[in-house]
Amino acid sequence: MSNLYIITGPAGVGKSTISERIAKSKSKSVLIEGDDIYHQVIGGYVQAWKDGNHLETFWKVCINTIRIYLEDGYDVVFNYIVTPTPLKQMYEQFKSYTIKFIVLLVDENTLLLRDKERPEDCQMKERCITLLNSFKNNNYNKKNILDTTNLSINETVNIIETNNRFIL
């Protein structure tokens, strides 16, 4: 049976790095970067946090893509900014699979340092802190939160892989 890993957190927290490591550890897996899907829209593109965005269409594409891979026996690792509403939709769609939901968080200083390590055109700067505070205020279940401030990449992946607290 295929598994679904949903990795979320503010920009710069390490979603892509952790997601790629998890996907590479599986014998049959796919990594779906939500940003890649969101940026497929060219004409009419609006940033996700602005009015007139295409998030409704984005989530339809993501859910259908995830479904196809799960049904074909792939473990799916999906990362994007996942708030409670789309999380509920994803749970309803995929509750017959094992779903691990992980909210990666770090302290502000670590987040800004990690953001500076990204390519200049990908840096979010102070927006990272805005997103971090938004994640802290979203009332996620504490069992799904993983503070990686003092964890290595390998330690983080190991905790996600071996700890069942993240299962929805």
pLDDT digits (tens, 9 = 90+) for 51-101: 988 989 999 999 999 999 999 999 999 999 998 889 999 999 999 999 999
* CATH numeric code, 3-166: 3.40.50.300
Instruction: State CA 37 to chain mean position distance.
Output: 13
Q: Where are the domains of the chain?
A: 3-166
Beta bridge partners of 33: 79
pLDDT digits (tens, 9 = 90+) for 113-143: 888 887 887 777 878 888 888 888 888 899 9
Provide the 3-class DSSP secondary structure of residue 54.
Answer: coil
The token pair that represents 48 in the structure block = 């996700």
Look at phi and psi of residue 14 and say left if phi exceeds 0, alpha if psi is from -120 to 50, else beta. Answer: left
Instruction: State CA 19 to chain mean position distance.
Output: 8
pTM of the prediction? 0.91
